[in-house]
Amino acid sequence: MSHADARNKFLAVFEGIREELIAHMKSEKMPEDAIAWFNENLIYNVPGGKLNRGISVVDSVTILLNRLPTDDEYFKAALLGWCIELLQAFFLVSDDIMDRSISRRGQPCWYLVSDVKGLGKVHNIAVNDSCMLEGAIYHILKNHFRRESYYVDLLELFQEVTYKTEMGQLVDQITAPEDNINIDKYTLLKHTFVVRYKTAYYSFYLSVALAMRMCGVPDAYELNGKTVEPYKEADRILIPMGEFFQVQDDYLDYHGTEAQIGKIGTDIIDGKCSWCVCTALTHGTDTQKKFLFENYGKKGPEQTMREQAVKDMYNDEEGLNIPKRYEESSKNAVEEINAMIELLPEPGAQDELRGDRLRRDVFRVFLSKITDRTA
């Protein structure tokens, strides 16, 4: 199946989810304008991205089963995938409010949409809209998985990963508060910590862990005389993969165009604790660091000029040369992650038809989706 066909098949499941959620609103006797509002919230915020997180649940289930899933298995895997996309939408709508972002996925952020703004409560209603996207996750899980033996495992995964992400968002916000930027706090170690919690768990670990629970992968099993703890193995490989992904995101924010990345990069103007600035502070001269302190995250009439000056310093081939450092960092990250994957004990031929054993291809496929990405 081509990537486009796989995406369209996955999107078809969303339409059923949307109808189910709207039917539930109607059963609660919600007013027509509230139903229409929630419907627009779902359509605008959930299915518009690349859908890698959600489709990765389906891909991981297929690899674990070592065969094509049945229609029921596909549907359940896709439902879990869409629950991650709902979680993603919840985080993005909230994050855009906190960061006062302008665009997302090539369109205005939800809190800036004219109908939302027209209420005169721009931020307030969008906050509730984000919470409703999160609440929809648990409605879907209850409707479709309540009778499954792994139902509680699914609930715990979503709750734990959501909490970890919110902890990461907390550290991110207090490290780089919009009204008091202090890049003296920025280090590559702090960046890695924030990324691990804010991005890696929900964007990488969650997809695979959900697939493992659905396929009945236990907390531990014996393989070739050794005890394998598959969820710890998944954590060991996927969290560094998530860190690599965010480094890419940070680089594209400064180096990519809006057409490429679907948004206007604002990390420099917003003073974000980005991999780029952390790398510049780590390797820069005293003069370069002083320049960053004077220009990074400085808003006002000259912010565009300051932003371009920082980009020029990043691009200087005789100086910081952030593009070259990024290329080297990416190459090293891919090599290290591949080495981690090779350390995972692989099921032998006798376990070929077992779906409850973790396989290296789960991670290889995930890594292939993000290597050399430009958006």
Q: Which of 91, 245, 363, 366 is catalytic?
A: 245
What's the CA gap between 39 and 19, in Å, rounded? 9
DSSP state of 178: T
364 is catalytic: no
Whether 281 and 272 have beta carbons less than 8 Å apart is answered as no
The one catalytic residue in 59, 129, 249, 270 is 249
Orientation angle between helical segments 230-255 and 188-195, nearest 10 degrees? 120
Residue 316 a catalytic site member: no
N-term to C-term CA, the chain = 23
Tokens 């629950």, located at residue: 83
**172 included as an active-site residue:** yes
Contact 195, 168 (CB under 8 A): yes
Separation between Cα atoms, residue 316 and residue 366, nearest integer Å: 33
Q: Which of 10, 14, 38, 90 is catalytic?
A: 90
Q: How far apart are CA 303 and CA 312, in angstroms?
A: 14
Question: Are the CB atoms for 228 and 358 separated by under 8 Å?
Answer: yes
Residue 5 designated active-site = no
Mark whether 232 is an active-site residue.
no
The set of residues, in sequence order, having a beta carbon less than 8 Å from that of 134 and lying 6+ positions away, is 86, 87, 90, 162
* Residue 250 bears catalytic tag: yes
Told to judge if 244 belongs to the known catalytic residues of this protein, a careful annotator would answer: no
Mark residue 100 as left, alpha or beta (left: phi above 0; alpha: psi -120 to 50; beta: remaining): left
Q: φ, ψ for residue 72 (rounded to 5)?
A: -65, -40
- CA nearest to 269, candidates 226, 302, 225: 302
> Following DSSP, what letter does each residue of 338-372 receive, concatenated?
HHHHHTSPPP-GGGTT-SSS--HHHHHHHHHHHTT
Query: Which of these is catalytic: 7, 75, 95, 293?
Result: 95
Question: Which one from 53, 76, 104, 360 is the annotated catalytic residue?
Answer: 104
Structural contact between residues 265 and 253, judged by C-beta atoms closer than 8 angstroms? yes
103 pairs with which residues across the strands? 108
From 96, 172, 253, 270, active-site residue? 172
157 within 8 A of 209, measured Cβ to Cβ: yes
Contact predicate 76/112, CB 8 Å: no
Check if 249 is active-site: yes
In the set 76, 164, 198, 360, the catalytic residue is 198
Give every CB contact of residue 235 below 8 A, 6+ residues apart in sequence.
Answer: 205
The catalytic residues are: 50, 90, 95, 99, 104, 172, 198, 245, 249-250
